[in-house]
Amino acid sequence: MPNSDLLPSLLYNINENQHALEAAIMELTLWVEQRGSAEVAGNVRGALQTIDRNEEFIKMTLAVLITPD
């Protein structure tokens, strides 16, 4: 298998990892917030918004790269 064939799978797995990390970070954010650190939780939510903003582009790019010609 040529290395170029590995790129779509690599990007797909990186994207999956990103979603898993996002979910884990949100769980920790909720935990921190429940313990009275609303400012820290707000900062984390702000960082997670970056992931949300980029998600649509990542999905579209993966669709183009993974779709067979």
Averaged pLDDT of the chain: 86
**Average pLDDT for 32-37:** 92
Where helices occur in 1-69 by DSSP H, the ranges are 3-34, 38-66
Say if 8 falls within a structural domain: yes
pLDDT, residue 59, reads 81
Residue at 45 is within a domain? yes
Tally the domains of the chain.
Answer: 1
Q: Is residue 30 in a domain? A: yes
32 Cβ neighbours under 8 A, 6+ residues apart = 40, 41, 44
Residue 23 has pLDDT above 80, yes or no: yes
How confident is the model over 37-60, as pLDDT tens digits?
999 999 999 999 998 888 888 888
Q: Does 69 map to a domain?
A: no
pTM for the model stands at 0.69
- pLDDT cut 90: percent of the chain above it: 39
Q: Which residue range forms the structural domain that includes residue 39?
A: 3-64
